[in-house]
Chains A and B, each alone.
Chain A
Amino acid sequence: MSNGPFALWRWARLFNDRGVFAEGLLTTLLVSALALSMALIIGVVLGLCSTSRNRILKTVARVYVEFFQNTPLVIQVFFIYNALPMIGVRWDVFTIGAVGVGVYHGAYVAEVVRAGIHSIPPGQSEASRAQGFTHLQTMWYVVLPQTIQIILPPLTNQAVNLIKNTSVLAIIAGGDLMYRADSWASNGALSYAPAYIVTGLLYFILCFPLATWARRYEERLKSRDIIHEPLEEVVEC
């Protein structure tokens, strides 16, 4: 029996243990879904704060965005995992993953929402204010609906980055796809090659359609002259 890194028996073994990978994939999907919902809520709220006239709200949004964008996710997750239990805050790794990644990407979503709101001509909100809408009503009924198609591509790119970043769970033994694959490989007769190839393929299947859709949609918006410059400065993670 050959013992190469790609030997057939390694693949057979992986196929036998496919349940491990399926469970990991499910965890990754669940954490991604929860984190994404959280990031969207945080992002919309902070995006609204940073475009409001209230100084305090603006400052809060700014500080939040700058703090989370300028410190590594790894350290934030380690902080929740290692330091918070010392003051009695004990979460399971699943919650840590969802909250950690959600809070981190909330900052990026906030920037996307802010850029989207700024891309709507100010005449729109002036007009609706003149019609007696309050600031929140203006945002909710007039401005935000128009930003949706503009911010959809960068938001989708954020979702892709978010899915990729849930792999940070692997370093706190979080039971996600990356963790399961890695621990399976190190226990499963060091079958690194098949484990990593399958894992990479699974992440790719999740991310590639989203990323491709985002790019096509953005090109379509550009060709219809709805946007000129993509809101891309903010989408890098």
Chain B
Amino acid sequence: MLSQVIADVFTPANIQYLIIGLIITLGIAVCTVLLSVLIGSVLAICRNYEKIILGKIAGVYIEIFRNTPLLLWILVCVFTIRGGNPLLRGSLALVLYTSSVIAEIVRGGLNAIPKGQFEAANSQGFRFHQTIFYIVLPQCFHKIVPSLMSQIVTTIKDTSFLSQFAIMEFFYRSRIIMSSLSQSVTVTSLHVFVIFLFVALVYFVINFTLSSFVHGMQKKALTSY
């Protein structure tokens, strides 16, 4: 019976359909994190080193996005922005939200850089932005690589929210398969369970691999002191 169910669910066409969905999910997650690292770093530098206008704006942005649900921003972007397709608008929400989280991660990294580094760079004739680019940021990113990687895990999980808005990512596609299955076979509870188990397993394998890698890096960083 189980083998029949598996044969029903995992037809070559379905597998191909799901793989494309998985690529979209991973693509969204990676692009989101890359863009968010860029925006988040700018926000963090503003909040830490410019306390007048830009720093205040960055602070307000970070606090607003960190203290409201991601789903709210997805709804806002998907329903109120005109132009673009749902996928772009949904991803925009992810970027806006993730930027605020990454900004705080980067700030943690920046705060760990001793003040003496700034003074030393200054005495060598470095300008402020040179100090940031050549001295502070490289050390900061080296420190926060594990946190950034686990943010990829979080973002991969977060993309599943997009399935609610007909964005063709992995979970949405598996829901499509679930509902279209009834056209060809009589759907039993086993079919649904197999699909859910498969979806969970795929997310699990990807995220577990990433987070094990992160743990390994953290351990290595701890023992290298």
Binding site for B on A (CB under 8 A): 5, 66-67, 69-76, 78-79, 82-83, 86-87, 160, 164-165, 167-168, 170-171, 178, 182, 185, 192-193, 196, 199-200, 203-204, 207-208, 211, 232-233, 236-237
- In the complex, the chain B residue whose C-beta lies closest to that of A211 is B67
Is the pair A70, B154 in contact by a Cβ cutoff of 8 Å?
no
Is the pair B161, A164 in contact by a Cβ cutoff of 8 Å?
no
Is the pair A75, B207 in contact by a Cβ cutoff of 8 Å?
no
A75-B160, A75-B171, A203-B67 given. 14 additional CB < 8 A pairs?
A: A70-B204, A71-B207, A73-B157, A75-B199, A75-B200, A78-B196, A182-B75, A192-B76, A196-B75, A200-B64, A204-B64, A207-B68, A211-B63, A236-B101
Q: Which residues of A contact B203 (CB under 8 A)?
A: 70-72, 75
Q: Which residues of B contact A200 (CB under 8 A)?
A: 64, 68, 72
> What does the 1/0 interface line of B53-79 toward A look like (CB < 8 Å)?
000000000011011111110011001
Whether, in the assembled complex, B216 has its beta carbon less than 8 Å from a beta carbon of chain A, the answer is no
| 28 A–B pairs (Cβ distance < 8 Å), ordered by A | A70-B203, A70-B211, A71-B203, A73-B157, A74-B160, A74-B161, A74-B164, A76-B200, A78-B175, A78-B196, A79-B196, A82-B178, A87-B189, A160-B67, A164-B69, A164-B70, A165-B69, A167-B69, A167-B70, A178-B71, A182-B75, A192-B80, A196-B72, A200-B72, A207-B66, A207-B67, A208-B63, A233-B146
Chain B contact residues, majority secondary structure: helix
Q: Which residues of B contact A74 (CB under 8 A)?
A: 157, 160-161, 163-164, 171
Whether, in the assembled complex, B27 has its beta carbon less than 8 Å from a beta carbon of chain A, the answer is no
Knowing A204-B64, A236-B150 are in contact, say whether A69-B211 is a contact too (CB < 8 A).
yes
CA distance A121 to B156 in the complex (A): 36
By Cβ-Cβ distance, the 3 closest A-B pairs, closest first, are: A86-B189, A70-B207, A207-B67
Q: Which residues of B contact A233 (CB under 8 A)?
A: 146-147, 150, 218
Q: Which residues of B contact A71 (CB under 8 A)?
A: 157, 200, 203-204, 207
Closest CB in chain B relative to A58 CB, distance in Å: 16
- In the complex, the chain B residue whose C-beta lies closest to that of A166 is B69
- In the complex, the chain A residue whose C-beta lies closest to that of B201 is A71
Is the pair B76, A196 in contact by a Cβ cutoff of 8 Å?
yes
Is the pair B71, A168 in contact by a Cβ cutoff of 8 Å?
yes
Is the pair A203, B80 in contact by a Cβ cutoff of 8 Å?
no
CA distance A208 to B100 in the complex (A): 14
Knowing A74-B160, A75-B160, A233-B147 are in contact, say whether A83-B193 is a contact too (CB < 8 A).
yes
Most buried by B among A73, A78, A82: A78
Is the pair A192, B108 in contact by a Cβ cutoff of 8 Å?
no
Whether, in the assembled complex, B192 has its beta carbon less than 8 Å from a beta carbon of chain A, the answer is yes
Whether, in the assembled complex, B153 has its beta carbon less than 8 Å from a beta carbon of chain A, the answer is yes
CA distance A202 to B101 in the complex (A): 20
Closest CB in chain A relative to B152 CB, distance in Å: 11
Is the pair A199, B72 in contact by a Cβ cutoff of 8 Å?
yes
CA distance A76 to B197 in the complex (A): 10
Q: Which residues of A contact B101 (CB under 8 A)?
A: 236
Q: Which residues of B contact A69 (CB under 8 A)?
A: 207, 211
Q: Which residues of B contact A164 (CB under 8 A)?
A: 67-70
Most buried by A among B67, B153, B158, B160: B67
CA distance A83 to B157 in the complex (A): 20
> What does the 1/0 interface line of B177-197 toward A look like (CB < 8 Å)?
010000000000100110010
Closest CB in chain A relative to B64 CB, distance in Å: 7
- In the complex, the chain A residue whose C-beta lies closest to that of B200 is A71
- In the complex, the chain A residue whose C-beta lies closest to that of B209 is A70
- In the complex, the chain A residue whose C-beta lies closest to that of B153 is A70
CA distance A70 to B75 in the complex (A): 24
Most buried by B among A74, A192, A193: A74
> What does the 1/0 interface line of B65-103 toward A look like (CB < 8 Å)?
011111110011001100000000000000000000100
CA distance A170 to B69 in the complex (A): 11
Q: Which of A76, A86, A185, A204 contacts B68 (CB 8 A)?
A: A204
Is the pair B208, A236 in contact by a Cβ cutoff of 8 Å?
no
Knowing A74-B161, A83-B196, A207-B67 are in contact, say whether A67-B154 is a contact too (CB < 8 A).
no
Whether, in the assembled complex, B48 has its beta carbon less than 8 Å from a beta carbon of chain A, the answer is no
Is the pair B80, A193 in contact by a Cβ cutoff of 8 Å?
yes
CA distance A70 to B207 in the complex (A): 5
